[in-house]
């Protein structure tokens, strides 16, 4: 991969205005696929959830999944869209090995939802309203796995495997209009927008919304133009970026790469690009013109989708609270300061903290565990904190054990590592490993006496007010008790002893 020349980010923004556009694919979590009765389930044995319809045997006839239509309408309504009273599916013709039909059944000029908007808040606190052009229904393709290459991509691979379990899984594609005016915060805006989409579809319960599983994927369009120029610059489309952090990085990279080319007078190639998380760079995919001709034509095997007013209104009545409203509500309920709350939102931890608080933890304790020790562990494993295998209920249990004095901070952190190793709940681990803080004064006094036998001058020092001398004894006791003593209690007992003798 040739190394791109990048312009300094600040300089790029001085020279150019950034325009972005985002296409987000949301995989719906319906029980069955979009046009057949096959199971829609991630992780099943390859090619077990297939039938003549989704592998396109001759003569097989599709039928539209009602739940998928309802989920799509709900997404449209949550984005403030109008809902089309009548919409046809179309065939988008192209060949790809994971698309057995040689066309994708999609919506073309009659999307189910259009003309919406979504207001998103950036890490800096600034607020942007993103215009939504459309949200349309389509089906996913199968999954190709390329074997033998070093990168997992087709280049250098010896052969490829295809799994059609995902072929025909319902998707909703949400397309924005060009987004202007974010300036230096365009990368953050892209990530914040996708985060909000994810919150919405999760809140609606229509998608599992797990980016690492590809339930939510983003194509990020980026173009630059000199300040004051009306005509949009040539754009690139970075495909299938699947984490919020990667979206932010990919947009920033494209800004710097395109700026360097434009400053030299080199034209931008209109193309798709791939994001490489390991290299922190994009690379060229295929050329993409605005006039890609997919020979769209109306799907003759499906009747048009015609949702009734009653159906639309009943779905509207069931919409959950908007992400912005939910944030205001939980921040007030938890009593977090603005900065604390922004950290939580930026780390994508609202759901986790809500779950932890519901399970009985104090909000501040929940916040500290998630943004502190758990974030640190995730970071050291190069993971997102939300990917850690721990539930809010377990974090709450841990916090409660600390509150009850059964664990000190050090022991709690130790218990946490065992929880993350899958050894069970915090209480089970404390019991199984005998990790509880020793609160039995008798055991502590015995350990103090043993330590004093080796450092007999310490009691005199304490009586003379030289408290730093106590540290050595407390340290020795903690070591003898393998960290399971409450240091505060050891100190109290030591002072009592000094004053009594
Ligand atoms: Zn099927």
- Walking along the chain (501 residues) 10 residues at a time, the average pLDDT comes out as 88 97 98 97 95 94 97 98 96 91 93 96 89 97 89 84 96 97 95 94 93 92 96 94 92 97 95 91 83 85 96 96 88 94 88 95 95 93 87 94 86 91 91 78 84 85 83 85 80 84 67
Q: What is the pLDDT of residue 1?
A: 60
Strand partners, 35: none
Please tell me the distance between residue 166's alpha carbon and the centre of ligand 1 in angstroms.
10
Chain-centroid distance of CA 473 in Å reads 47
Q: How far is the CA of 140 from the centre of ligand 1 (A)?
A: 12
pLDDT at 290: 67
Ligand 1 midpoint to CA 50 (Å): 4
36 alpha carbon to ligand 1 midpoint, in Å? 5
Q: What is the distance in A from the centroid of ligand 1 to the CA of 294? A: 24
Per-residue pLDDT, 501: 67
Dist. CA 159 → ligand 1 center (Å):
25
Q: Residue 33 C-alpha to ligand 1 middle, in angstroms?
A: 7
Centre of ligand 1 to C-alpha 84, Å, is 27
At residue 254, the pLDDT reads 97
Give me ligand 1 centre to Cα 122, in Å: 41
pLDDT at 291: 60
Q: Angle formed by the axes of helices 487-500 and 470-480, to 10°?
A: 130
Residue 85: what pLDDT? 95
Token representation of residue 369: 């565990």
Would you say 223 and 42 are in contact if contact means Cβ atoms under 8 Å apart? no
In the reported structure, the alpha carbon of residue 40 is separated from the centroid of ligand 1 by a whole-number distance in angstroms of 9
- Count CB atoms within 10 A of the CB of residue 142: 22
CA of 214 to the centre of ligand 1 (A): 20
User: Which residues, including other chains, have CB under 8 Å from residue 58's CB and lie 6 or more apart?
Assistant: none
Q: Say how many Å lie between the CA of residue 171 and the centre of ligand 1.
A: 15
Distance 148 CA to ligand 1 centre (A): 30
Report CA(341)–ligand 1 centroid distance (Å).
Answer: 45
- Residue 247 is predicted with a pLDDT of 96
Distance between Cα 458 and ligand 1 center (Å): 78
- Calculate how far, in angstroms, residue 381's C-alpha sits from the geometric centre of ligand 1: 39
Based on its alpha-carbon atoms, the radius of gyration of the chain, rounded to whole angstroms, reads: 29
Instruction: Pick left, alpha or beta for residue 408 (phi over 0 → left; psi -120 to 50 → alpha; otherwise beta).
Output: beta
Nearest-5° Cα angle at 288, 107 to 197? 50
Q: Quote the ligand 1 centre to 138 CA distance (angstroms).
A: 15
The CB density around residue 85, as the number of other CB atoms within 10 Å, is 12
Query: How many Å lie between the centroid of ligand 1 and the Cα of residue 56?
Result: 9
**Burial class, 304, CB count within 10 angstroms (exposed 0-12 / middle 13-18 / buried 19+):** middle
């Amino acid at each position: 991969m040739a190394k791109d020349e990048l312009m300094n980010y600040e300089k790029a923004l001085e020279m150019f205005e950034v325009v972005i556009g985002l296409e987000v694919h949301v995989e719906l979590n319906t029980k069955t696929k979009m046009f057949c009765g096959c199971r829609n389930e991630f992780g099943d044995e390859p090619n077990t959830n297939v039938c003549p319809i989704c592998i396109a045997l001759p003569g097989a006839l599709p039928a539209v999944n009602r739940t998928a239509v309802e989920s799509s309408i709900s997404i449209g309504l949550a984005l403030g869209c109008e809902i089309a009273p009548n919409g046809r599916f179309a065939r988008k013709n192209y060949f790809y090995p994971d698309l057995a039909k040689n066309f994708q059944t999609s919506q073309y000029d009659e999307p189910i939802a259009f003309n919406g908007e979504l207001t998103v808040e950036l890490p800096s606190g600034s607020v942007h309203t993103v215009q939504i052009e459309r949200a349309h229904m389509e089906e996913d393709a199968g999954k190709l796995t390329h074997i033998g290459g070093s990168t997992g991509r087709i280049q250098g691979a010896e052969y490829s495997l295809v799994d059609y379990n995902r072929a025909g899984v319902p998707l909703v594609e949400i397309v924005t209009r060009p987004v202007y005016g974010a300036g230096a915060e365009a990368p953050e805006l892209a990530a914040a927008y996708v985060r909000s989409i994810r919150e919405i579809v999760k809140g609606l319960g229509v998608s599992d919304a797990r980016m690492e599983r590809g339930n939510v994927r983003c194509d990020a369009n980026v173009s630059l133009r000199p300040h004051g120029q009306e005509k949009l610059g040539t754009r690139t489309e970075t495909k299938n970026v699947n984490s919020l952090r990667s979206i932010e990085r990919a947009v920033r990279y494209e800004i710097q790469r395109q700026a360097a080319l434009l400053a030299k007078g080199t034209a931008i190639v209109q193309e798709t690009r791939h994001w490489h998380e390991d290299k922190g760079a994009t690379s060229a995919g295929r050329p993409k013109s605005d006039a890609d001709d997919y020979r769209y034509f109306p799907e003759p095997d499906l009747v048009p989708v015609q949702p009734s007013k009653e159906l639309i209104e009943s779905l509207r009545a069931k919409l959950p609270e908007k992400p912005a409203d939910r944030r205001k509500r939980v921040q007030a309920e938890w009593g977090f300061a603005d900065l604390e709350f922004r950290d939580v939102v930026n780390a994508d931890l609202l759901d986790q903290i809500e779950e932890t608080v519901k399970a009985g933890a104090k909000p501040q304790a929940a916040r500290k565990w998630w943004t502190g020790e758990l974030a640190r562990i995730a970071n050291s494993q190069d993971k997102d904190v939300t990917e850690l295998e721990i539930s809010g209920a377990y974090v709450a249990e841990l916090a409660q054990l600390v509150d009850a004095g059964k664990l000190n901070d050090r022991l709690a952190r130790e218990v946490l590592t065992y929880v993350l190793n899958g050894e069970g709940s915090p209480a089970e681990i404390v019991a199984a490993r005998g990790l509880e803080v020793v609160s039995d004064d008798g055991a502590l006094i015995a350990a103090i006496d043993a330590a004093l036998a080796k450092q007999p001058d310490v009691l005199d020092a304490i009586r003379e007010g030289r408290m730093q001398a106590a540290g050595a004894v407390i340290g020795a006791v903690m070591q003898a008790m393998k960290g399971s003593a409450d240091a505060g209690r050891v100190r109290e007992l030591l002072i009592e002893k000094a004053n009594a003798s």
